[in-house]
Amino acid sequence: MLEQEIDSLNSPIHFPRANLASIHLYGAYLVTAKLSAANLSGANLSQAILSCGDLSNANLIGANLSGAYLQKANIQKANLIATNLSNAELESANM
């Protein structure tokens, strides 16, 4: 299952332009992940650690990023319509 593969990797994640709609990655360790222009609509990324990650131009419509760690992440031009960012850590995020 893709969720298990992503969560168990220790190397950087590279899925630019990938279709990851509705994927469940609760609490996943995704530091420095490259998810630019990825479709993450409806994804559960709550409590995920996405520090220094690249989510630029990503489709995050309806995604759950509550409690996610997005310090120094690049989320420029990401579609954040109806995205849950409650309690997300956004310090020094590039928005």
pLDDT of residue 13: 87
93 closest CA partner among 56, 47, 45, 43: 56
Calpha distance 68→46 (Å, rounded): 5
pTM for the model: 0.87
Residue 11 confidence class, pLDDT cut points 50, 70, 90: low
